[in-house]
Amino acid sequence: MSLDLIVVSKRLATVGLAAVTALEQRLGVAMPPGYAELMAIYGEGSVCNTLDVWGPARILERLDEAREIWAECWFWEHPELVQADFAAAVPVGGSSSGDQVALVPGRGLVVLPRHSDDAIDVGTSYTEAVRWFCTSGRLVAASEVLWFESWTQQSCWENWSGDEFHQVQDAIAALDLHVAVDASREDARTFLIPAMGGHVYVMETFGDGDLYVHVRFEPEYVALYARIEVALAGVGVTRVARWGAEPAA
């Protein structure tokens, strides 16, 4: 089953079949079904701002380090697999929280969670593994929509701070710039805005009564971003930090 991802980014770095074939020859292992298709359509990037899908070059770059960690710092349990089974495994993705996705030859794809000692089978196809990670609710909140951001673009990132979640959420929604909203968490909303090559993430931060807003956009779409900037300022949200690319003049 193929993935139908909402593409937020304006530019993609797709990977051709020749690069996937070269990876397989280098590893002596066939990549799982769906991997070559995902690379050809989307390339390397993040799905639902949760799971990082890696291209061939990054897989080779991380290979030795991953196998070294599995050999020296093993703590996971599985009803059928043991540590030795991962000596020939291949890292094919991960999350910012430290979860790992490994291809175990002859077995399929296995997730090694950062904060759990249970290794989890997630199918034999790459698309199944991506869908499981983002929608099962086992490790992260189940996403209501599946969306993709490439790592190719030179984006502007900003953090804002405020204190009225629903007011801010309604202000962004009223702009009607988004194509979809991921409301997988009660305390957060992600507005997907391909027209500016990014998204707006609004989250309540309990404990200090504050509100966290993260904005990502591509620099040439600064005019569209300016509408978001005005909307945020209009409901009392203030910009805390900006990094990455600078907006185009």
Low pLDDT (below 50) residues in the chain: none
The whole-angstrom separation of Cα 200 and Cα 147 is 13
CA proximity to 167, closest of 224, 208, 225, 213: 213
In this predicted structure, what is the pLDDT of residue 249?
Answer: 74
Would you state the pLDDT for residue 209?
56
Contacts of 61 (CB under 8 A, 6+ apart): none
> Residue 34 corresponds to which amino acid?
G
Structure tokens at 203: 């989250």
Please answer whether residues 8 and 200 qualify as being in contact, where contact means their C-beta atoms are separated by less than 8 angstroms: no
**CB–CB of 156/244 below 8 Å?**
yes
pLDDT value, residue 18: 98
Main-chain phi, psi angles of 47, to 5 degrees: -105, 125
pTM value > 0.75:
yes
Query: What distance lies between CA 90 and its chain's CA centroid?
Result: 19
Neighbours of 67 (CB within 10 A): 17
Residue pair 105/28 in contact by the 8 Å Cβ criterion: no
6's tokens: 């909402």
The 3 state secondary structure assigned to the chain is CCCCCEECCCCCECCCHHHHHHHHHHHCCCCCCCHHHHHHHCECEEECCCEEECCHHHHHHHHHHHHHHHHHCCCCECCCCCHHHHCCCEEEEEECCCCEEEEECCCEEEEECCCCCECEECCCCHHHHHHHHHHCCCCCCCCCCCEEEECCCCCEEEEEEECCHHHHHHHHHHHCCCCEEECCCCCEEEEEEHHHCEEEEEEEECCCCEEEEEEEECHHHHHHHHHHHHHHHHCCCEEEEEEECCCCC
Rg, Å, the chain Cα set: 20
User: At which residue do the structure tokens 């801010």 appear?
Assistant: 168
Pairing of strands 100-104, 147-150: unpaired
Q: What is the pLDDT of residue 1?
A: 53
